[in-house]
Amino acid sequence: MNPRVRRQSRPDSGFTLIEVIVALVILAVGVLGLAGTTALVVKQVTLADVATERAAALETVIERVRAMDFDSVGDGADTVGSFTANWSSTDFGTSKLVTVVTLGPGLQTGTGNMPHLSNSVADTFVYRVIDP
């Protein structure tokens, strides 16, 4: 019997400090990317909400104009939510052209063509009413 007992070498288990640091850096870059994406998503949802409110205000005004008798369609104004709507009509005999201008929050292009949310943005919609 040999007095020397030979120990089998085992590979070290676990991670080295360098591997842990590299993994943390990769994780941090991913989390920062998600944070930037979250800000973009919040902005897009806010803009979509404002666009939906504007469309609802415009729909309300158009429905009011449609409910009027043809001869009584004229100029007018109304406030729907946070939007002010003004409309004017031009008579063409058998039809009237109604121009609706909504004023309220919306997307506006600023300096450097960077869009931003503004409190006073005008939007124009033209609608034709035909004499039945």
- The pLDDT score that the predictor gives to residue 4 is 66
Residue 101 lies in a domain: yes
Q: Which residues of the chain fall below pLDDT 50?
A: none
Distances (CA, A) of 53 to 16, 79, 84: 56, 12, 12
Residue 46 lies in a domain: yes
Residue 114 lies in a domain: yes
- Tokens at 60, concatenated: 């309300």
Cα gap 98→63, rounded to integer Å: 12
- The pLDDT score that the predictor gives to residue 40 is 84
Residues across the chain? 132
pLDDT in tens, 57-91: 999 999 999 999 999 999 999 999 899 999 999 99
Its sign, for the CA torsion 106, 109, 115, 117, is negative
First and final CA of the chain: distance in angstroms? 116
pTM across the whole model: 0.69
Boundaries of domain holding 104: 17-130
- Tokens at 57, concatenated: 């205000």
